[in-house]
Structure 1
């Protein structure tokens, strides 16, 4: 699967750079009997449907040229939404001060899921302020133990 996403990243990156957009994530997944190639893009201030449509058209042309995926699939180009994944270190740095949802590979203080405000990231450790019952607590999460992270809407 990663080979497909690597090829797609190589195809879509020049298109995005030309349009002053950036890549957030690529998924190539099977759901039921159908395959989906999902490309999540964004820019400062947010993306609109016309930009998604333009990227979809241009990427589709490139995919038709080199045909890197043997089976039929649906191409979807969209915004990552409010709960965007934080895949790269830069994504995490850019999210300092925002609410995040983090899952870890192994338990930290008896927990593997954390939701709260990202206070800091020094390249090795994320510091998250989580609410436990009626008080808040700062949790240090080693970056290598993060299974996945995303922005979170916390009510």
Structure 2
């Protein structure tokens, strides 16, 4: 019985919570409208088990049907509105072990593939990531 309690404790400790400390920073020229005025942008932040579906989906598909397209790859999905010339810090928690962090910026007029970024996550339990969002592009920088 004592051995069973020991192994149960090891399993519980081994299945700890993972935290990602996420800093979001935006340019003052964010998501410009037709007159050149900056606008907020919606960011979708995904903790993913796989990157294949995320990388192969186009902008419109992820914008309108992300949950259906990414299916079981999504471990955690969060949506936030980022204002021009601002900074936000989020602490994302997951009891699962995400393999990737993906970000989609829902720009008014996305160009190329800069609206989407994905990075592999390390095996450590605390991760620090910085995402900068500019006029029509995103950039992820790991800060570990």
Question: Which TM-score tier does this pair reach, normalised by the shorter chain?
Answer: under 0.3
Q: Which has the higher contact order (CA 8 A, sep 6+)?
A: 2
TM-score (norm 1): 0.22
TM-score (norm 2): 0.23
Normalized per residue, which structure has more helix? Answer: 1
